[in-house]
Amino acid sequence: MRSRKGRDTFKGATISRAGVREVIENALQGKLSKKLCLHMADLRYYLPKYSEAKKIIDNSKMEPLAAPSGSKVRGERFDCDDFALLLKARFAFAAYRDRSQYQNHPHCFGIVWGLLPFPFPHSMNWMITADKKFYFVEPQRQKILKSNQCRGFRHINFLLV
């Protein structure tokens, strides 16, 4: 959208660091470790519509990379944390590619580590959408999960956005 002076104006929803923390604490009550480490590199974050985030996830082409490798064990080579980092990078690139839409705000999309589900250590992604709802994202299956669908998740000790 253009203002009267011909400059692009930004009409998208954003959220502050304090707002991110509030949504996380409300959505993940009982799931957070007492030693939670929440890293936020920026002052404000862009809140995508659910459909917009789903499109980036669907177009990420992550699922074929996670295909079972028969009897080959991956070990720690290209495992869950690598998938989470790669999907986070896809969202960073989407914001870079279309600066007018995001007005230099990164997506409110990050990485989470914890016992997901208990007792298994796992890494995946998370996001907050324009309606201020929190979701987990399993990058290896390109699947979006509501926080209340993840009852077995415990001891979330690290969140990065």
pLDDT tens-digit profile of 95-147?
888 766 657 889 999 999 999 988 989 999 999 999 999 999 999 899 999 98
Q: Which residue has the tokens 């720690």?
A: 76
Between CA 135 and CA 129 the distance in angstroms is 8
Task: Please report the domains of the chain, with CATH numbers, ordered by start residue.
Answer: 13-160 (3.30.460.70)
pLDDT in tens, 70-84: 445 556 666 889 999
Query: How, if at all, do strands 109-115 and 154-160 pair?
Result: antiparallel
- For the entire predicted model, the pTM comes to 0.85
Sign for the pseudo-dihedral over CA of 14, 43, 87, 89: positive
| SS3 (DSSP) at 147 | helix
- The residue-averaged pLDDT of 17-26 equals 97
The pLDDT mean for the chain works out to 86
Buried/exposed code over 54-87 (b: 16+ C-beta within 10 A; e: otherwise): bebbeebebbeebeeeeeeeeeeeeebbbbbebb
Identity of residue 113: W
pLDDT in tens, 97-108: 876 665 788 999
